[in-house]
Amino acid sequence: MIGRFFAGLFVNKGRAALTISSIAVGIFAVAVISAVGSTGTDIISRSLDDMGINSVLVQTEDGSAALSDDDVAVLSELDGITDAMPLLSSVTECHLPQQTLSCIAWGVSRSAGDIISLRAMHGRPLNDADIAGCEHVCMVDKEIALQTYGRTNIVGKTLEIKIGGGIEQFKIVGVVTSGLSAVQSVINDVVPYFVYIPYTTMQRLCGTTGYDTIALRLSSGDPEAISDIELCMDRRDDSIEVNDLLGQKQQLDGILSTVTAALSLIAGISLIVSGLSVMNAMLVSVSERRREIGIKKALGAPNYRIVFRFLAESTSLTIIGSVIGAVSGILVTYIGCICCGEPFSWEPSIMLFAMIISAMIGMLSGSYPAYKAAAMKPIDALKDQS
């Protein structure tokens, strides 16, 4: 029975192949767009995490250094906070042999690696001794090393930073990368170079005892932790802002997912055109199989069986095309990710939805040809073929 069904389905192999191909192309477009969008969303999300977006910043509205060690201690004791770090910044210049670069000097603690995702390529990170002794040591991003020495390992070299109204010399103890490294290599005229020094050293040089910002690392995206931080800071001073970068990142992820779904839907509009192709193919099939239909009706086949047969054929054509298109689209995107060195990601829900819609379009497209076949009178069908 199954063999006869598929024999009828592929009675004209060329037409069946073209019909399946039209469906496959539409699903292929949906598969590629949804997979590329999902992969791109994951890449952006990881990049934002590397930039230190997966954290919370506590800072004053006017940028004054109003935060203190007491604030760091209080925030560190809150539930859901895994680490707290004073953070200062200064837009300045750094002087290296035969070159002066615009940069941002960051005053950080030894927790910088965890909170703002710094990874040491060479040398070491800042340690407790550097912080306690207000040492003149620093870490630089790899872009500074490449720009000035043409290599990444410049540990042991010295640079001068214009800070606190004077020029101070620092020893490079580490070369680091962060999520911004890739951005800097593309738009280094916009994104400045980064230098990281002990926050205590920056405080002493700038003549301040407070902080611009306190960066907090959360154990999870628990909204109660954010509420506790806001409540704690409101009691301290209502001019202090709490910027939930993790929440903003989640909103961005949601926007990117919505855009991907919208683009997939636009690509899915081509399935409507494919549905017309299915309808045309089934109408031709009904015309070619009038004798078969007439014999079945003469032998007493009920109309619903005739309708079911043609609906099953049109739906089967769309399902076969959908599977081929989905597999091809996912495979092409997967190979593309491998070639680009990026991890592959896709949304099964979008693909499943597209395939269900495709099957429904196939059923609807086959309904008129099926009705036309069932409405035939046996004598007319046989007479036309005599």
pLDDT digits (tens, 9 = 90+) for 135-165: 999 999 888 888 888 888 999 999 999 988 8
pLDDT band at 207 (very low <50, low <70, confident <90, very high): confident
Residue 177 structure tokens: 């990368």
- 2/248 Cα distance (integer angstroms): 55
- Mean pLDDT over 351-374 rounds to 80
339: pLDDT strictly greater than 80: yes
Residue 170 in 3-state DSSP? strand
The tokens describing 85, both together, are 């770090």
- Gap between the Cα atoms of 383 and 111, Å rounded: 89
A 10 A CB-CB count for 357 gives 20
Tokens of 25: 């192309």
Would you say residue 203 has pLDDT above 80?
Answer: yes
Residues 44-54 have pLDDT tens digits of 666 656 555 55
Type and span of the H or E element at 348 = helix 348-374
Q: Looking at the predicted structure, is the pLDDT value of residue 130 above 90?
A: yes
Report whether pLDDT(42) > 80: no
Q: Is 281 helix (H, G, I), strand (E, B) or coil?
A: helix
Q: Give me the phi and psi of 74, to 5 degrees please.
A: -65, -45
More confident call, 243 vs 75: 75
In angstroms, the CA 203 to CA 89 distance is 10
Tokens of 294: 């007439």
324 to each of 216, 299, 329, 333, 378, how far by Cα in Å?
A: 48, 38, 9, 14, 38
Q: Mean of the pLDDT values across residues 265-288?
A: 74
Q: Please, are residues 319 and 274 in contact by the beta-carbon 8 Å criterion? A: no
Distance separating alpha carbons of residues 41 and 52, to the nearest angstrom: 17
Q: Are 137 and 171 in contact (CB under 8 A)?
A: yes
Q: Which two tokens stand for residue 351?
A: 């693909």
What per-residue confidence (pLDDT) applies to 193? 84
Predicted TM-score (pTM) of this structure: 0.57
What tokens does 72 get? Answer: 């760091």
**Portion of the chain with pLDDT greater than 70, in percent:** 81
Provide the pLDDT for residue 386.
47
Q: Which two tokens mark 293?
A: 């239909």
**Radius of gyration of the chain, Cα coordinates, nearest whole angstrom:** 33
Kindly report the average pLDDT of the chain as a whole number.
78
